Chains A and B, each alone.
Chain A
Amino acid sequence: MNGEGKRRIAVTGIGLVTPVGNDRESTWSALQKGKSGGAQIENFDATGFSTTIGAEVKDFDRENAGPCRKLLKGASRAHAYALAAAEEALKDAGIAPNESDSHRWGLAVGAGMMSVDYDDLKVVEDYATEEGQFCPDRLLSDDFPADPINFCRWQSNAGLTVLAKAFGIRGYATSVHTACASGGQAIGSALKALRRGQCDKVLAGGFDSMLNPIGISGFCLLGALSTDNDNPTGASRPFDETRNGFLLGEGAGFLVLEDWSNATDRGATIYAELGGDGNSLSCYRITDSPPDGDGPIQAIEQALKDAGITAEDIDYVNAHGTSTQMNDRSECAAIRKVFESRIDEVNVSSTKSCMGHLIAAAGAVEAAVCCLAIRDSVAPVNANLQHRDPECDVNLVVNESKSVKIRAALSNSLGFGGSNSSLVFLNPERGEK
């Protein structure tokens, strides 16, 4: 229990699959060097789209993702990333659900967008349309290749299902989708389930991949993506005056969370204490966060309070920092309001400058980054910043990553739809004084 009588929760395992690395340490190493994962899209022919670049996961070994090859049949591209990242996190923690404790294990995931694959839509077009108009009865033709496995893969909780089966998790299980805040909210849900004693250990994280023709279409139609097609590594430049939209990424991040005394009793390596969760709804516009930071401010303040600390204790903020003007300015206004006089001391960076925007996975991956930043006393660089937006006057980590002892780190995620999630991670040495 911590000072306020809340059950203390340790982060004891981390797994990552990202555009800059297919595991935890390679991702973290690339982020510290400020290496970008942006490139021309290879997965499909994107040359006709207004944006032809993205941050794809590269050289991913799908066949060996997760503990069981058979399960991959029901796994989408994002689910395979989730299986690999979750497996790495569990191995890292050195624990896994077994016969005697699987009902005390929970699973909380931020699940990615759920649009149908282009290829499946093409099949509908081939078999069940007339001049592009849908004709339902044609689906009943014996020729229509109805594939129930496709259907299962596409259910809203399909990723949760695949992970639960792969690792044998039989307790509290939930899947949340609040767009770009999903991953952070999933970890928040896990924290609460642990604190109320509903489970002793939780596998928590997020996964997403919208780097497919339909996924990227949605963002192209909205004009949300950077169109710097000749500069993929410099396209994501959060807080830079010249930014022009985000770089779409993909991947997965998972944490193993467990009761603190359980972790110390078994001699586990503890990355950080998951200290607090804050969660608010901006109620402003569907795609934008309000310019004065209302909404994100409440989420950050709640997270600090929940962790039993104040703005004085935070040394690093992993910003949502999508590289869109509305987001970056709103978030900076919120950070300035919360940190007030300490604004020049608190290190801020958006690792989306390297990884791009992992959408529903972003909050989970960036939570992992906060834990690694605490472990190694490094605030990772905010890459690609050349002309700082004067409206984004916060203490950004520019040029190179910075060595700094981090007592506590804050991870922000602000989603389409207005959901804001903030998580606080505490240095494990802090509590042992």
Chain B
Amino acid sequence: MNPSSERIVFTGSGIVCGSGATVSEVWARIESGESSIDKFRWERGRVRRYDWDSSNWPCGIAAEVKEDNRTLVPDRKLHKTISRKDMYGIYASEQAIKGSGVLTCRETMTDASRNSFNDRTGLIVGSGGANYHDDYDFLPLIHEAKGDLTGFGRELSNQVTPMWLLRNLPNNVLCHVGIQWQLKGTNACITNQCASSPMAVAESASAIINGEADRFVAVGHDSVLEPEHMLYYETLGLLSREIPKPFDASRSGTVFGEGGGAIILEKQSDAVERGAEVIGEFLGFGSTCEATGTVELNPTGEGLRRAIEEALENAGLVPSDVGMICAHGNGTKASDLTEGLAIESVFGGNIPPVTAFKWAYGHLIGAAGIVDLIMTLESLKRGIVPGVSSFSEVDSQLADFPVGRTHTKLEGDVALVICRAFGGLNVVLAVRGARR
């Protein structure tokens, strides 16, 4: 439990994904049961670097971000030194920072006060790993050198941009959001695959509690939307040919999304003092590993059960306090079943309504947890547990599991957000919604 009496609140958020580029836009599509998953077609040009028509691909659907690079990051100089998925993080951060007004007070500060304010403002980013297609910059060179490494080395600087390494640094969003907003305090770039971004939120809150910083921008961004990634996920049997159906008897896999999310964390007393709108409260988190390897999962959900219990204990909650669960619900056979079993083992016969958002905007991988958190806070604010529009019949091994097609009324104001990743990683956040 939080040892200091200081409560940690969320005061602003930003989002971009296939379903939209503002929180209200994404919420509206969720509320109307509309998924942004579809076939897509890339054309070589400013945004995409090769032609790709997904209709030729067996599982060729995704929730693609539609916004142009210039909409996401107006500073065009930056486009040469970052990748498109970095733009999602930079865009979401700007929305969250501006929306929260958390940096506004700097404008009237003396230099000394501003420096110390910046040193006490942290930034933690959950990032994806590398993308295969970033390395395709080397393909023309490999072709020309005909597989000869000596020739490859000699011609390197004539064929490949000097910016190649910088464009592909995993910590680019950390660097550029930091420079843009002068956030100079505690920082990290977390690369825990699908569990990256909830860990960014949890580590930010922990650092405020620990007294390292007074406020944080927590960010997640990712895109695995590229041919090779899609091929390997499909080879592993993880991709669906239709909109994912979390916990459904006929579910057949997940679908890629892409995007970014950002959220501002600060002390409640600071938020009250500056008259900020509070959109939620961080209560606690749990983090566990199943030690099972990349894609295998503990068949009983034991690792996730421990993470849920740890989050409840850390937040000072009992299971009956929870009004809603935002599940990972990626739509794959093994993950959903073990997730359901873990939830059942903690909540017994009194499971609160469960929802999951991947039917709406796909699986955002490194950004999934933080975008789910933002939509969970929106659900809490509106007192609605959104239905899963692709759902029809629950998995027979999860009888009476409370997930459904239609929206249900929320009881209480506390939610759990569950996030799972390759490697058997589980992160669970416990949050309270803003009072309605």
| CB proximity of A179 to chain B, nearest CB, Å | 6
| Interface segment, one of B12-20, B155-163, B260-268, B336-344 | B155-163
| CB proximity of A120 to chain B, nearest CB, Å | 9
Please measure, in the bound complex, the distance between the C-alpha atom of A104 and the C-alpha atom of B383, giving whole angstroms.
37
Whether A48 and B149, one on each chain, are in contact in the complex, defined by CB atoms closer than 8 angstroms, is yes
By a CB distance below 8 angstroms, the chain B residues around A116 are 130, 132, 135
Is B424 among interface residues, defined by CB-CB distance under 8 A?
yes
Is B112 among interface residues, defined by CB-CB distance under 8 A?
no
Is A176 among interface residues, defined by CB-CB distance under 8 A?
yes
Whether A283 and B193, one on each chain, are in contact in the complex, defined by CB atoms closer than 8 angstroms, is no
Is B248 among interface residues, defined by CB-CB distance under 8 A?
no
Whether A157 and B425, one on each chain, are in contact in the complex, defined by CB atoms closer than 8 angstroms, is yes
Is B289 among interface residues, defined by CB-CB distance under 8 A?
yes
By a CB distance below 8 angstroms, the chain B residues around A124 are 132, 136, 139, 228
By a CB distance below 8 angstroms, the chain A residues around B289 are 107, 160, 164, 169-173
Whether B50 and A192, one on each chain, are in contact in the complex, defined by CB atoms closer than 8 angstroms, is no
Q: Which of A192, A217, A282 contacts B138, CB < 8 Å?
A: A217
Given contacts A134-B50, A156-B128, A170-B291, A178 and B188 within 8 Å (CB-CB): yes
By a CB distance below 8 angstroms, the chain B residues around A427 are none
Please measure, in the bound complex, the distance between the C-alpha atom of A185 and the C-alpha atom of B171, giving whole angstroms.
13
By a CB distance below 8 angstroms, the chain A residues around B160 are 217, 221
Q: Which of B130, B169, B179, B203 contacts A283, CB < 8 Å?
A: B179
Please measure, in the bound complex, the distance between the C-alpha atom of A49 and the C-alpha atom of B152, giving whole angstroms.
8
By a CB distance below 8 angstroms, the chain A residues around B294 are 74, 152, 155, 158, 161
| CB proximity of B213 to chain A, nearest CB, Å | 9
| Interface segment, one of A125-133, A326-334, A387-395 | A125-133
Is B323 among interface residues, defined by CB-CB distance under 8 A?
no
Is A218 among interface residues, defined by CB-CB distance under 8 A?
yes
Whether B231 and A146, one on each chain, are in contact in the complex, defined by CB atoms closer than 8 angstroms, is yes
By a CB distance below 8 angstroms, the chain B residues around A415 are 171
Q: Which of A125, A139, A160 contacts B192, CB < 8 Å?
A: A160
Whether B170 and A156, one on each chain, are in contact in the complex, defined by CB atoms closer than 8 angstroms, is yes
Instruction: Name the CB-closest residue of B to A302.
Output: B212
Is A137 among interface residues, defined by CB-CB distance under 8 A?
yes
Please measure, in the bound complex, the distance between the C-alpha atom of A116 and the C-alpha atom of B306, giving whole angstroms.
35
Whether A114 and B170, one on each chain, are in contact in the complex, defined by CB atoms closer than 8 angstroms, is yes
Whether A189 and B188, one on each chain, are in contact in the complex, defined by CB atoms closer than 8 angstroms, is yes
Instruction: Name the CB-closest residue of A to B124.
Output: A176
Please measure, in the bound complex, the distance between the C-alpha atom of A198 and the C-alpha atom of B307, giving whole angstroms.
11
By a CB distance below 8 angstroms, the chain B residues around A219 are 165
Is B371 among interface residues, defined by CB-CB distance under 8 A?
no
On chain A, the number of residues with a Cβ less than 8 Å from chain B's Cβ atoms is 90
| CB proximity of A337 to chain B, nearest CB, Å | 14
Instruction: Name the CB-closest residue of A to B132.
Output: A116
Q: Which of A50, A133, A155, A419 contacts B189, CB < 8 Å?
A: A419
Task: Give chain B interface residues in 107-127, CB to chain A under 8 Å.
Answer: 118-119, 123, 127
Is B76 among interface residues, defined by CB-CB distance under 8 A?
no
Interface string of A266-294 (1 = CB under 8 A from B): 00000000000001111111110000000
| Interface segment, one of A39-47, A53-61, A317-325, A374-382 | A39-47
Is A38 among interface residues, defined by CB-CB distance under 8 A?
no
Is B353 among interface residues, defined by CB-CB distance under 8 A?
no
Whether B231 and A140, one on each chain, are in contact in the complex, defined by CB atoms closer than 8 angstroms, is yes
By a CB distance below 8 angstroms, the chain A residues around B138 are 121, 214, 217
Please measure, in the bound complex, the distance between the C-alpha atom of A44 and the C-alpha atom of B147, giving whole angstroms.
13
Is B355 among interface residues, defined by CB-CB distance under 8 A?
no
Given contacts A178-B171, A282-B184, A165 and B164 within 8 Å (CB-CB): no
Please measure, in the bound complex, the distance between the C-alpha atom of A176 and the C-alpha atom of B124, giving whole angstroms.
10
Instruction: Name the CB-closest residue of A to B116.
Output: A298
Please measure, in the bound complex, the distance between the C-alpha atom of A167 and the C-alpha atom of B162, giving whole angstroms.
40
Q: Which of B134, B153, B206 contacts A46, CB < 8 Å?
A: B153
Is B52 among interface residues, defined by CB-CB distance under 8 A?
yes
By a CB distance below 8 angstroms, the chain A residues around B306 are 103, 170
| CB proximity of B223 to chain A, nearest CB, Å | 13
Whether B424 and A161, one on each chain, are in contact in the complex, defined by CB atoms closer than 8 angstroms, is yes
| CB proximity of B416 to chain A, nearest CB, Å | 18
Q: Which of B134, B140, B162 contacts A132, CB < 8 Å?
A: B140
Please measure, in the bound complex, the distance between the C-alpha atom of A157 and the C-alpha atom of B75, giving whole angstroms.
31
Please measure, in the bound complex, the distance between the C-alpha atom of A222 and the C-alpha atom of B58, giving whole angstroms.
40
By a CB distance below 8 angstroms, the chain A residues around B185 are 279-281
Interface string of B176-192 (1 = CB under 8 A from A): 10110011111111111
Whether A121 and B135, one on each chain, are in contact in the complex, defined by CB atoms closer than 8 angstroms, is yes
Interface string of A172-199 (1 = CB under 8 A from B): 1111111100000100010010011010
Whether A417 and B174, one on each chain, are in contact in the complex, defined by CB atoms closer than 8 angstroms, is yes
| CB proximity of B51 to chain A, nearest CB, Å | 8
Instruction: Name the CB-closest residue of B to A144.
Output: B231
Is A416 among interface residues, defined by CB-CB distance under 8 A?
yes
Is A339 among interface residues, defined by CB-CB distance under 8 A?
no
By a CB distance below 8 angstroms, the chain A residues around B189 are 176-178, 417, 419
By a CB distance below 8 angstroms, the chain A residues around B135 are 115-116, 121, 214
Task: Give chain B interface residues in 206-231, CB to chain A under 8 Å.
Answer: 206-207, 209-210, 212, 227-228, 231
Is A431 among interface residues, defined by CB-CB distance under 8 A?
no
By a CB distance below 8 angstroms, the chain A residues around B436 are none
By a CB distance below 8 angstroms, the chain B residues around A214 are 135, 138
Whether A151 and B232, one on each chain, are in contact in the complex, defined by CB atoms closer than 8 angstroms, is yes
Please measure, in the bound complex, the distance between the C-alpha atom of A172 and the C-alpha atom of B310, giving whole angstroms.
11
Whether A192 and B207, one on each chain, are in contact in the complex, defined by CB atoms closer than 8 angstroms, is yes
Instruction: Name the CB-closest residue of B to A218.
Output: B165
Please measure, in the bound complex, the distance between the C-alpha atom of A286 and the C-alpha atom of B206, giving whole angstroms.
27
Whether B139 and A133, one on each chain, are in contact in the complex, defined by CB atoms closer than 8 angstroms, is yes
Given contacts A173-B425, A298-B184, A417-B171, A165 and B156 within 8 Å (CB-CB): no
Please measure, in the bound complex, the distance between the C-alpha atom of A103 and the C-alpha atom of B309, giving whole angstroms.
12
Instruction: Name the CB-closest residue of A to B136.
Output: A134
Please measure, in the bound complex, the distance between the C-alpha atom of A124 and the C-alpha atom of B133, giving whole angstroms.
10
Please measure, in the bound complex, the distance between the C-alpha atom of A45 and the C-alpha atom of B179, giving whole angstroms.
38
Task: Give chain B interface residues in 36-91, CB to chain A under 8 Å.
Answer: 49-53, 56-58, 81
Please measure, in the bound complex, the distance between the C-alpha atom of A113 and the C-alpha atom of B58, giving whole angstroms.
31
Can you list 15 A-B pairs with a CB-CB distance of less than 8 A?
A: A48-B156, A50-B153, A103-B306, A132-B143, A152-B295, A158-B423, A160-B423, A161-B293, A168-B291, A189-B203, A192-B207, A196-B209, A217-B153, A220-B153, A279-B188
Further contacts, 9 of them, CB under 8 A, given A161-B422, A171-B287 = A151-B235, A155-B193, A156-B192, A158-B423, A174-B287, A177-B170, A192-B210, A221-B160, A222-B162
Name the 6 nearest CB pairs between A and B, nearest first. Answer: A48-B153, A156-B129, A218-B165, A132-B143, A161-B423, A132-B140
